[in-house]
A = this chain, B = another copy of it.
Amino acid sequence: MTALPSPDTDFPAWYVAVVRQAELAEHSAVRGSMVIRPYGYAIWELLQRELDDRIKATGHQNLYFPLLVPMSVLEKEGDLVEGFAPEVAVVTHAGGDELTEPLVIRPTSEATIWHTYRRWLQSYRDLPLLYNQWANVVRWEMRPRLFLRTTEFLWQEGHTAHATEAEALEENLRILHEVYADVVERVLAMPVLRGRKSASERFPGARETFTLEAMMRDRKALQAATSHYLGDDFARAYEVTYTGTDGAPHHPYATSWGASSRLVGGVIMTHGDGAGLRLPPAVAPHQVVVVPIQATDADVCEAAAALAASLRDAGIRVHVDDRDYLRPGAKFFEWELKGAPVRMELGSRDLAAGAVTVVRRDDATKDQAPLAGAAARAAELLCDVQAALFQRAQSFREENTAQIASRGELIAFLREGRGFAVSAWCGSEDCEAAVKEETSATIRCLPLESGEVGAPCTVCGAPGAEPATWAQAY
């Protein structure tokens, strides 16, 4: 284990080192694909459970569609195939033979799902279709980054069908608020902006893309989850109709929405510091790590085990690090790197005093607590840490968000990567492209409700602009 690069001077190197040293993930033998190691996967599983619970609580059912999609099925929706064809991996041989039609590994499942909804949807009584799947997808990636951009990634994708446009849009916002924002803010402690994408940043084939945007510690934006309104274009492309209450055939309206393993990258980049990860307790595989200071002392080890049992009984995920070949200092270093929210050190001196030393990872404060009340103290601390991480990230975003009214200032702010710039935009793709050209920054989101008339466009001065949030992004 070596010292981490500083996140302030070399954030990309710091990120790579944290992912590797905290044993979260690593590159595999296939370019762009990653191995998610047990500690990283445990974070993903906790996150997945939280998402899945909310997906079900909002009335959706899980199901599973195939990995492989015939090229001819993918090609039925023009925007979709145009958006994804350059990124797909293609199976041309199987079972020892060349295939008569090449198969694509799903980059997303709209095509195969709407191809199937044609069979499932008959009557208005079948609506809405509210389905979700947990799956791996493949999008060929030229500049892979662990968790953030990998050739294969894990995600959930929801695909729904509704009788009216209004119901579909209501679904889009329910998912954005009740599922995604709730998990990202309350579980991952990542404050997010909720908004709409500009046309150029929408999902291929979407009429509207709703997004959550979070600020990382290098002031760049991370798109945390998206919810797409697809209109009836997919229904038309895949010839899906149902018989309405009027006895006539109608096309249903579609949504799709996804959140992926890149959120693990978001947790690292939102909360991490010079010592490594700082995990929000809600997704920490070990919320409390107990370190017996004398790992070969039977009394101390027994007391550590009893302490852990009392925490476990209180519903806390706890790990006892009783490795007898490592010094306590090495263990402290490791669990700080791995971001365990609370460390409890138990030595013979603590034991004699009927106490335990308690250290918070987020602010490094250290105090003693009576052994008898340790579980209650831990539960309280975990709540505090969860809230403090969110608070700190929110303050950071506020400090690094500016209202900008002049073109020159906007360009300078974005070029220097100083954070989120909120600036009036007239809606023209030319203005958007001009800023992107000069700064490589993009519009991350527009207000959820369109039509909020603000100042004249910062770029061209045209009236009727709405406030756009610009930033460099992952």
Q: Taking beta carbons and an 8 Å cutoff, which residues of A are in contact with B?
A: 26, 28-30, 33-38, 40-42, 44-45, 61-70, 73, 85-96, 102-103, 105, 112, 115-116, 119, 125, 131, 135-136, 138, 140-142, 151-152, 154, 325
A92 to B112, CA, bound (A): 22
Name the one of B40, B44, B69, B325 contacting A30, with C-beta atoms under 8 angstroms.
B69
A91 to B102, CA, bound (A): 10
Name the one of B33, B70, B85, B142 contacting A67, with C-beta atoms under 8 angstroms.
B33
Interface of chain A, main secondary structure: mixed
Task: Determine whether the beta carbon of A35 is less than 8 Å from that of B140.
Answer: no
Task: Determine whether the beta carbon of A73 is less than 8 Å from that of B138.
Answer: no
Given the interface pairs A94-B140, A95-B140, the reply to whether A35 lies near B65 with Cβ below 8 Å is: yes
Q: Which residues of B contact A62 (CB under 8 A)?
A: 38, 41-42, 45
Q: Chain B nearest CB: distance from A134 CB in Å? A: 9
Return 12 A-B CB contacts under 8 Å, by A number: A30-B68, A33-B68, A35-B116, A36-B64, A38-B61, A41-B61, A41-B64, A67-B105, A88-B94, A88-B95, A91-B91, A95-B141
A42 to B60, CA, bound (A): 12
Task: Determine whether the beta carbon of B92 is less than 8 Å from that of A154.
Answer: no
State the oligomeric state as a number of copies.
2
Given the interface pairs A90-B92, A142-B95, the reply to whether A29 lies near B70 with Cβ below 8 Å is: yes
A86 to B95, CA, bound (A): 5
Task: Determine whether the beta carbon of B63 is less than 8 Å from that of A29.
Answer: no
Task: Determine whether the beta carbon of A28 is less than 8 Å from that of B65.
Answer: yes
Task: Determine whether the beta carbon of B325 is less than 8 Å from that of A125.
Answer: yes
Q: Chain B nearest CB: distance from A455 CB in Å? A: 43
Task: Determine whether the beta carbon of A41 is less than 8 Å from that of B63.
Answer: yes
A355 to B380, CA, bound (A): 47
Q: Which residues of B contact A37 (CB under 8 A)?
A: 63
Q: Which residues of B contact A45 (CB under 8 A)?
A: 62
Task: Determine whether the beta carbon of A66 is less than 8 Å from that of B30.
Answer: yes
Q: Which residue of B lies closest to A68 (CB)?
A: B30
Q: Which residue of B lies closest to A97 (CB)?
A: B140
Q: Chain B nearest CB: distance from A349 CB in Å? A: 28
Q: Which residues of B contact A69 (CB under 8 A)?
A: 29-30
Given the interface pairs A142-B95, A325-B125, the reply to whether A70 lies near B35 with Cβ below 8 Å is: no
A461 to B345, CA, bound (A): 69
Q: Chain B nearest CB: distance from A127 CB in Å? A: 14
A111 to B330, CA, bound (A): 34
Q: Chain B nearest CB: distance from A41 CB in Å? A: 5
Task: Determine whether the beta carbon of A28 is less than 8 Å from that of B116.
Answer: yes
A64 to B25, CA, bound (A): 9
Task: Determine whether the beta carbon of A86 is less than 8 Å from that of B96.
Answer: yes
Q: Which residues of B contact A28 (CB under 8 A)?
A: 65-66, 112, 116
A151 to B116, CA, bound (A): 18
Name the one of B29, B63, B325 contacting A115, with C-beta atoms under 8 angstroms.
B29
Task: Determine whether the beta carbon of B131 is less than 8 Å from that of A38.
Answer: yes
Task: Determine whether the beta carbon of B35 is less than 8 Å from that of A103.
Answer: no
A150 to B62, CA, bound (A): 20
